[in-house]
Amino acid sequence: MDVPAKGGFSFDMCCRNGMMEKKGFKAPGFLKTGTTIVGLVFADGVVLGADTRATEGPIVADKNCEKIHYMAPYIYCYGAGTAADTEAVTAGRESRVVTALALLKSHLFRYQGHVSAALVLGGVDCTGPHLHTVYPHGSTDTLPFATMGSGSLAAMSVFESKYKEGLTREEGIQLVSEAICAGISDDLGSGSNVDVCVMTKGKTEYLRNHLLPNPRTYVSSKGYSFVLGQTEVLATKITPLKQAEVTIGDAMEE
């Protein structure tokens, strides 16, 4: 009798990879992504923020992606890691913030870090505003401000020097934006624009592309109306080359 397949991830390829390594082949690797995600608690709620760059190794795959994930009314989280993993882990969870936290960390702990999802979870429920971080292995933190991703150190330096209790909504948005800009400036895996999500009791505001810290500075005089197969020439420099005489004997010695 066949046993019905259970849901979840399949690790059948781990045996294949182990066999390849024993035979001298290099096992397939994974692509490390970069992100700056942050969050803080202010007087009336929670502010979350993220950059908008998605990478595939050294390539910028998407300059303006959305890294926010809806959990429940007034509960959202930003994800760092593999985009598919962060989407799958955060889908379809409706609960209080602490219950959403328990579901996320138990799911990640089950796979012992094989799911590449590092999360900043924030929300406001009947017990007030809450901010948590969830690591890929399932460990969690509950803090008044938090950062994750490859740009987290740059963002944390901003929070540690400027965060204070009782921030207003405007001060919280400004501080989150400044922290994300620090990650964009100092981390190659983070870039493009700043997204901000503000949650208060009974209200959520998603400020898409709240800041654009890296606008394109070069504007073509032709308005990018290039003829097919032609590119605008900005400058021309011609350097004459002297042809050296080489005998047959010299060429053979070389």
Query: Please, is 58 exposed, middle or buried when counting C-beta atoms within 10 Å of its C-beta (0-12, 13-18, 19+)?
Result: exposed
Whether the pLDDT of residue 2 is over 80: the answer is: no
Question: E strands along 103-240, which residues?
Answer: 117-125, 128-134, 140-142, 145-148, 194-200, 203-211
Domain residue limits, the chain: 37-211
H/E element, 186: helix 169-186
Query: Would you state the pLDDT for residue 108?
Result: 92
Per-residue pLDDT tens for 161-184?
999 999 999 999 999 999 999 999
Per-residue pLDDT tens for 178-228?
999 999 999 989 999 999 999 999 999 999 999 999 887 766 665 666 666
CATH entry 3.40.50.2020 includes domain 37-211: no
Helices (H), 23-126: 83-90, 97-110
Per-residue pLDDT tens for 59-91?
888 899 999 999 888 999 999 887 777 877 776
Q: Which residues are catalytic?
A: 35
